[in-house]
Chain A
C-alpha cells in the first residue's frame, strides 16, 4: 500500500529526514517511535502534504500513485488521513457541517453521488457510538473550547467518518489520561480492517499496550535505525532511547 524509498526532507534548508525506507501493507499496524527531534512528526507532515517541507530526494508510492505529486487535499481524497498532534480550532464551523463538506468533496473526487442526508445522519450516529464520543461534542464547532482529550477523540471520530485507507496517528496519546487513552485506542482498534493500514507515531510505549502493532520502527536523527516486532517497543521502554543512540553511534 505504501512504499517509502530513501526519503529526504528539509524545512527552511535544514534537513530533517535523511533517507527513510518503509514498506507498509494492507491490514498492518506500524508504530514509529523515537526521541524528540528525531523526525517523527516531519514524516507525518510530509506524508500528509504540508507545503512547508521540501522533499529533496526519494519517493513515496501509495497504492500505485506517486504521492508526492498529489496535492494535500487529493491525498486525503485518496484515503490518507492524519490525526493531528495539535488539532486546530475552527470557530463557528460545526463538526457536522465540516464532515459533510469533507465527505462531499471526497465522494465528488471519486465520481460518486453526494451522500443522502438520511444516510449521513445514520452514519454519524453509528460512528459516534463506535468511538464513544459525546453527541454534544459532535454538534459543536470544530475543537472550539475542547479539552486536549476531547480534541484527540474528535480526531478519531473524524477518522471513523472519513473511512481512510491509511491512517497516521501523530502523537495521539500525548496529553491523554488513561481513560481517554483507552477510549481512543478502542476506537482505533475497532476501525482496523484487512483493507486499511495504520501508522502510529508515539514517543511512549504505553499506547502500544492498547493498540498492538505488527511492526515497530525506531527513528533516530532522520533515519529508521532499527525495526522489529512489538517486543522492540518493550525493550525500548525498558532501556530508554539512550541505548539506541549508543547502539547507532557505536
Chain B
C-alpha cells in the first residue's frame, strides 16, 4: 500500500513543488502543485493527498454538465484561487473575537443566542462551526458534545484526529468521480464540518455550520460528513452568506450523510449566498452535491432547504434508501428574483423494502428569473412496497419569470405506489387587494401570501431558523410586484 502511495506522489514530483508554503493564499489556478500546496498547508497525511490527486486526475477527464435548465458563462477554473486563509489567522478563543460583521449575520440567522442559551442552560442549544473562505474558524461547544462521545469539528481536524472514520466514510455516499463538481471538490476542498454521533446518542443541541465566502476571486469548496450510528439522532443546520461582489464566485460543496440502523439525520439549510444585483451582475454559482444514505433498516434522512440566494443554483439533496423501512424526506423552498436561476430538486433512490419518501417542493419565481424543479424517484427491483409522495408547486409573480418542473420516475417493482401532484399559480390581484382592503400594504401582503404558500416546508425548520427564513423570503421578494 505504502509503495503505491509513494509511487503516486513521487511520480508527480517532476513538476516541482514551487509554491510558497507560508503564503496565505494559493496563487490562482488549478494544477497538481496547487493540490499539493493545499494538502501540505493542511498538514495532511499521504492518503489524503493521494485521494485528492486521484480526484483531480479524474476531474480532468470530465466535462462540465450542461443539462440543467440554467445558462451562464462557465467559470474559468484557472482564474480561481483555491486556498485562502482568513486574516487574521490567530485562533479565536471566544465568539467575542469573531468579526462583528460575522456576528451580525449570526444574529440575522438567529443563532447568536447560543451564548445566552448556554448561560441559561436552555434545552434547545446550537453548537456552531464557522467556515470562512474554506477554513474553519471556530467550533463551539466541543467539550459539551465530547462528553456524549459526539465528534463535531472541522473536516481538517477530523482528518488529523479521526482518520479511520474519515477514510471509512468519505466518498462512501458521493464518490469523488460522481460528477464534475464533486470531483473538483474532492481535489481541492479545504475544510468543512465533520460530525459523528455514536450509537444510541441523541444529540442534545442543534449542530450548525455557517459558511461565508470572503476574499475576492476565491472559490469555496467545503465538505461535510455526518455519520449517525445505530439509534442515534442529530439535527444539523447550515447557513450561508457572501458579500456583494461584481464577479461571480464559485461554490461547490459536497455533503455526505450516513444513517445507520434506526438513526435519524435532519439537515436544514438556509442558503443566502449573494444572488447578484438587479441586472444579474455578480452573484454566487452554487453547484452543490448533497446526498445521504439510509444504510440500514429504519433509518431516516430529512433534507429541508430554503434557497433564496445565489445567481445560479444547481443542487439536488438526495437520499439512497438502502435499508428496509427507511425513510427519505425533502422539503424545499426555492425563491428566484431578478435574474437568478435555480435548478433544484432531489433524488429518492428506493432499494430496500417498505421504503418511503416524501418530496414537497415550493418554487417561487419573480422578476426575470427561472426556477426549475428537477426530481427523480427510482424504485429498484427489490424495493417491495415502496411509497413515494411528491408535491411540486410553483408560484409566479409577474409575467417575465419562468417556472419549470422536470419530474423523472423510474419504477422496476410493480408493488410501488408513487404519487405526484403539481400546481402552478400566480399571486392574484384579488389576494393582494383583499389584504390591502384590510390595511396591509403590498410588500407585507406578498410576505404573508408567500409564507403561507411555503408553510409546509417552513414548519419543518427548527424554530430558530424558521423565523429567519420567513424574513429572508420577504426580503428576497422585495419590490417584485409593483
> Which residue numbers of A lie inside 8 Å of B, CB to CB?
48-50, 71-73, 76-77, 81-82, 84, 87-88, 90-93, 97-99, 101-103, 105-106, 109, 141, 158, 162
Contact = CB atoms under 8 A, between A and B. Distances in A.
A92 B431 contact: no
Contact of B448 (A76, A84, A90, A106): A90
Interface string B416-445: 000000000000101101111111111010
Contacts of B455: 92
B434 A84 contact: yes
28 contacts: A50-B433, A72-B433, A72-B436, A72-B437, A73-B436, A73-B439, A73-B440, A73-B441, A76-B437, A81-B437, A82-B437, A84-B434, A88-B431, A90-B431, A90-B434, A90-B435, A90-B448, A92-B454, A92-B455, A93-B448, A93-B449, A93-B452, A101-B440, A102-B440, A103-B439, A105-B439, A105-B440, A162-B439
Interface string B374-400: 000000000000000000000000000
B244 to A, nearest CB: 31
A60 B437 CA distance: 17
Contacts of B440: 73, 98, 101-102, 105
B392 to A, nearest CB: 15
Contacts of B434: 84, 87-88, 90
Nearest to A79: B439
B451 A76 contact: no
A216 B431 CA distance: 31
A109 B439 contact: yes
A157 to B, nearest CB: 12
Given A88-B431, A88-B434, A102 B439 contact: yes
A105 B444 contact: yes
B453 interface: yes
Nearest to A168: B437
B452 A90 contact: yes
B436 A93 contact: no
A166 to B, nearest CB: 12
Contact of B441 (A84, A91, A99, A105): A105
A106 B438 CA distance: 8
Interface residues of B, number: 22
Contacts, number: 72
Contact of B452 (A92, A105, A109): A92
B437 A91 contact: no
B451 A92 contact: yes
Instruction: Label chain A's interface by main secondary structure.
Output: helix
A105 to B, nearest CB: 5
Which 3 residue pairs of A and B lie closest in terms of their CB atoms, listed nearest first? A92-B452, A93-B452, A92-B455
B235 to A, nearest CB: 24
Nearest to A87: B434
A141 B439 contact: no
Nearest to A84: B434
Most B C-beta atoms less than 10 A away, residue of A49, A73, A91, A99: A73
A72 B439 CA distance: 8
A185 B67 CA distance: 61
Nearest to B458: A92
B422 to A, nearest CB: 15
Contacts of A81: 437
Contacts of B452: 90-93, 141
Most A C-beta atoms less than 10 A away, residue of B428, B435, B437, B449: B437
A81 B440 CA distance: 13
A106 B439 contact: yes
Nearest to B447: A101
B391 to A, nearest CB: 13
Contacts of A109: 439
A87 B435 CA distance: 11
A141 B455 CA distance: 11
A103 B453 CA distance: 22
Contacts of A73: 436-437, 439-442
B448 A91 contact: no
Contacts of A76: 436-439
A137 B433 CA distance: 22
Contact of A77 (B431, B439, B449): B439
Contacts of B437: 48-49, 72-73, 76, 81-82, 84
Contacts of A77: 439
B65 to A, nearest CB: 35
A242 to B, nearest CB: 34
A98 B430 contact: no
A98 B448 contact: yes
Contacts of A90: 431, 434-435, 448-449, 452
Contacts of B442: 73
A88 B425 CA distance: 14
A88 B428 contact: yes
Nearest to B433: A50
Interface string B438-482: 111110100011011111100000000000000000000000000
Most B C-beta atoms less than 10 A away, residue of A87, A88, A90: A90
A76 B452 CA distance: 22
A206 to B, nearest CB: 26
B452 to A, nearest CB: 3
Nearest to A158: B438
Given A88-B434, A92-B453, A97-B448, 18 more contacts: A48-B433, A49-B437, A72-B437, A73-B437, A76-B439, A88-B430, A88-B431, A90-B449, A91-B453, A92-B455, A92-B456, A93-B448, A93-B449, A102-B440, A103-B439, A105-B439, A105-B441, A141-B452
A69 to B, nearest CB: 16
B438 A162 contact: yes
B426 to A, nearest CB: 13
Nearest to B393: A91
A77 B444 CA distance: 14
Contacts of B448: 90, 93, 97-98, 101
Contact of B451 (A50, A72, A93, A99): A93
